[in-house]
Amino acid sequence: MDLVQLQHKIRVVHDFPEPGISFKDITTLLCDGESFQYAVQQISEFGRPRDVDLVVGPEARGFVLGAPTAYALGVGFVPIRKPGKLPGETIRKDYQLEYGHDGLEMHADAIKPGQRVFIVDDLLATGGTIQSCIDLVLRAGGIVVGLGFLIELQYLEGRKHLAGYETFSLLQYAD
């Protein structure tokens, strides 16, 4: 398995979910065991030397990559969820997407102050989602030691807003 083969597993769907959006569909990669395993291994290898205590991932696609990354690193996983899903006391952040906007919540007690957190998501677009995750982790007292993505949409320049954070993406799209 190499990165060219992996990139071919992504299905690009034009004008979904709105006209003008070039949607990168990861479901076609996820249903191939070798590709899924390779992607998780690569993201985990980025996290491994960073002395990670916890992996945090946003609903829903961040769960699909974040949870196996946590498992591979032998650490816990903390979900960041769309509003109204978590039963305990939560902290909340509102954010803007490439298409639409939303809010995200995390359990207030999920991270202990000083814990080293690796945030994992499937895709970096505008960076709104990951910035919200960073904000929640910092408010909970965590230290963000890395950001890991399967895909980076370079044309949306999300990385520009992530200066100061060690950021890894496995596959990049220039357009």
Ligand X SMILES: O=P(O)(O)OC[C@H]1O[C@H](OP(=O)(O)OP(=O)(O)O)[C@H](O)[C@@H]1O
Ligand Y SMILES: Nc1ncnc2[nH]cnc12
Q: Does 122 sit near ligand X (CB under 6 A)?
A: yes
Q: How many other C-beta atoms are found inside a 10 Å radius of the C-beta of residue 58? A: 25
Binding to ligand X (CB under 6 A) within 46-105 occurs at: 58-62, 97-98
Of 28-36, 67-75, 85-93, 125-133: span binding ligand X (CB under 6 A): 125-133
What are residue 57's DSSP bridge partners? Answer: 79
For 1, the token pair is 């398995």
Contact 128, 80 (CB under 8 A): no
Which does residue 24 bind out of ligand X, ligand Y, none, counting CB within 5 to 8 angstroms by kind? ligand Y
The whole-angstrom separation of Cα 149 and Cα 133 is 13
The whole-angstrom separation of Cα 174 and Cα 27 is 21
Can you state the angle between helices 33-47 and 61-73, rounded to 10 degrees?
Answer: 60
CB of 109 to ligand Y, least distance (A): 29
Nearer to ligand X, 3 or 60 (CB): 60
Nearer to ligand X, 53 or 122 (CB): 122
Q: Which of 35, 90, 126, 169 binds ligand X (CB under 6 A)?
A: 126
Binding site for ligand Y (CB under 6 A): 21-24, 97-98, 123, 125, 153
Nearer to ligand X, 38 or 63 (CB): 63
